[in-house]
Amino acid sequence: MTIENIIVQQPSKPAQQLILLFHGVGDNPVSMGEIGKFFAHAFPEALVVSIGSPDVCDFGRGFQWFSVQGVNEKNRQSRIDQAMPLFINCVRQWQQDSSVSAQNTVLIGFSQGTIMALESTKVEKLAGKIIAFSGRFAILPEKPIAAGTAVHLIHGEQDPVINPYQSKIAAERLEALGNVCTLDLQPNLAHGINAEAISVALEHLHQ
């Protein structure tokens, strides 16, 4: 069982940018589609799509890229690695269909969607920019990630699901490796996306 992707914005002319949004575990593309409307308004020449994860969630509702049932620091990476080829193929297919290059692609993830987007940078370059809401690397990269990909980490300091420390250490590692990275911590935000976080994301994309 899969859920259809949601095209938030289809420009009348050939797209100049491709913005793909990836939801968290147990969710569906509808919620991230609402977030996508802010990015569509800011980038009217972009094709904006909210992507549905491929598998039904173990929780009995929503969808997932990989199971989080019994997930821990030892098995998380292998689960992501198993799901990664399908994730990469999904992005590449949208790039092919829209004739938009990787450099002009933006991946916007939340929680598990962010995990998949960040982990993809260890494999190949899928995007010029990644907006990483409330996520983490499974294991911090040991070598520079995909050249030319700027990572913008945005995390609530009150997040009880994924510790904001994960974004802090990711930023430190990426900077040490010479990759372009920013870190924005939202003091009053838990595990979610609010207006301030969206505003920060838009600022980074406009730069």
Q: How many CA atoms lie within 13 A of 207 on its CB side?
A: 14
Active site residue 184: no
For residue 1, being part of any structural domain is answered with no
Structural domain tally of the chain?
Answer: 1
Q: Write the DSSP assignment of 161-197 as a string of letters.
A: SS-THHHHHHHHHHHHTT--EEEEEETT--SS--HHH
pLDDT in tens, 123-158: 999 999 999 999 999 999 999 999 999 999 999 999
Inform me whether the pLDDT recorded for 14 exceeds 80: yes
What is the pLDDT, as a whole number, of residue 61?
83
Give the number of C-alpha atoms closer than 13 A to the C-alpha of residue 100, restricted to the C-beta side: 26
Residue 199 appears among annotated catalytic residues: no
23, 110 contact by CB (below 8 A): yes
- Domain extent, residue 42, equals 6-206
* Residue 154, in any domain of the structure: yes
The answer on pLDDT for 38 being more than 90 is yes
Quote the CA–CA distance of 31 and 24 in Å, as a whole number. Answer: 10
Cα gap 94→92, rounded to integer Å = 5
pLDDT at 1 over 90: no
Residue type at position 143: K
pLDDT band at 173 (very low <50, low <70, confident <90, very high): very high
pLDDT tens for 82-132 read 999 999 999 999 999 999 999 999 999 999 999 999 999 999 999 999 999
Averaged pLDDT of the chain: 95
Residue 116 inside a domain? The answer is yes
pLDDT confidence of residue 183? 98
Q: Which residues of 143-153 are buried (b: 16+ CB within 10 A; e: fewer)?
A: eebbeebbbbb
User: Is 160 part of a structural domain of the chain?
Assistant: yes
* CATH, residue 200: 3.40.50.1820
Fill in the amino acid letter for 31: S
Question: What is the spatial distance between Cα 54 and Cα 100, in angstroms, rounded to a whole number?
Answer: 23
- pLDDT, tens only, 59-71: 778 899 998 999 9
Q: Within a domain: residue 38?
A: yes
Whether 185 maps to a domain, the answer reads: yes
Name the active-site residue from 111, 120, 134, 167.
Answer: 111
134 within 8 A of 193, measured Cβ to Cβ: yes
**Is 159 noted as a catalytic residue in this protein?**
yes
Q: Given this model, what pLDDT does residue 3 score? A: 62
* pLDDT the model gives residue 194: 97
Catalytic residue among 81, 184, 191, 204: 191
Whether the per-residue pLDDT at 9 is higher than 60: the answer is yes
Find the catalytic residue in 23, 152, 155, 159: 159
